Amino acid sequence: MNVLALIRRSRAGLLAASAGVIAALLAAIVLTAMTWVERGQDSARWVRHTLDADRQLVELLSNLQDAETGQRGYLLTGQGTYLAPYEHARSQALRSLDQIEQQIADNPGQRERLARLRPLVMSKLTELSTTIALQHDGQSDAARQIVLTDRGKQVMDSARATIAEMRGE
């Protein structure tokens, strides 16, 4: 009977040890799964953050192009109906710049590129408003001369390149 009791005891010990190992394995699996879920959520947040910044860059470029279109229409026709889309696009471009700045605050490389982009955007908007003001004051030849310098095109090309660089990161 002594041998039988010893076997029962060792079986109970083996079962207890097996249950402990299984519990430890389950705990490790749960912890690993929780870590993966957390990493996945972090990745999703970064993807969303990147997509938001990219969307703002696309909107900025679109607004600059819309402002150019409004300016061009006004310079060609002298009709004030072209100024409303210009004004809207101008204000949206400035809003986009501010939103981009907030979204890239944690990225030194993007902040450096934005430091190059902001003066380009401001220069382009200044050129547009100057030509519109000249046209409004009856100085269409002076407005045309500014356009013919191609400075606005060069600034816009540089802005496009910088935006493309920012979107590429």
What domains can be seen in the chain, in order of their start residue? 49-168 (1.20.120)
For the segment 80-122, what is each residue's pLDDT rounded down to a tens digit?
A: 999 999 999 999 999 999 999 999 999 999 999 999 999 999 9
DSSP state letter for 169 = -
Q: What is the pLDDT of residues 12-69, one digit of tens each?
A: 777 777 878 888 888 888 888 888 878 777 677 777 878 888 999 999 999 999 999 9
Contact 85, 69 (CB under 8 A): yes
Task: Return the closest-CA partner of residue 92 out of 115, 63, 130.
Answer: 63
Provide the pLDDT for residue 141: 96
Rounded average pLDDT over 143-149: 96
Q: Tell which wins on pLDDT, 30 or 7.
A: 30
Burial of 33: CB neighbours in 10 Å, binned 0-12, 13-18, 19+: exposed
* Contact present, 82 and 70 (Cβ < 8 Å): yes
DSSP string covering 84-105, please? Answer: HHHHHHHHHHHHHHHHHHHHTT
Among 36-40, 128-132, 148-152, which stretch is predicted with the lowest mean pLDDT? 36-40
pLDDT at 1: 55
